[in-house]
Every structure is written in structure tokens, then in C-alpha cells.
Amino acid sequence: MRVHRTEHARHFTVLPNAVLQFRRLSYTARGLLALRSTSSTSAMVTGGNNGPRGASA
């Protein structure tokens, strides 16, 4: 099988499938992990129980 590699466009994030398929994390936690990995290193993500699912997420 041939692997086709191209340079990615700007604002493109590559995550291993294992990260998003890790069943011990909730969908919310996986989404936040993916979101955090797209942020610059100087960005800060804070939160509380203000989301639609609150502490049960």
C-alpha cells in the first residue's frame, strides 16, 4: 500500500485515532481534548459546571 503525504493547509490539526477512540473518556472530554490541542500554547481553557451537561460530562 502506498502512503500519500501532502503538506497540510494552515490551521490543520492531526490527532491519533487512539486519542478520539479512548472509551474511558466521555465524548465531552474527547471533544475538549481535541479543542485544546488546536489552541496555541499561550491559550488557556477554563471551565466549570456551566455547560449543558454540567458535572456529569
Q: CA 46 → CA 15, 23, 32, 43, 51, distances in Å?
A: 22, 23, 11, 10, 12
Rounded-to-integer distance, Cα 52 and Cα 5, Å: 39
pTM for the whole thing? 0.50
What are all long-range contacts of 47-54, with beta carbons under 8 Å and residues at least 24 apart?
Answer: 53/28
Given this model, what pLDDT does residue 47 score? Answer: 59
User: Which residue ranges make up each domain of the chain?
Assistant: 10-38
Q: How does pLDDT run along the chain (57 residues), one tens digit per residue?
A: 788 777 777 777 778 888 888 899 999 998 888 888 877 655 555 655 555 665 555
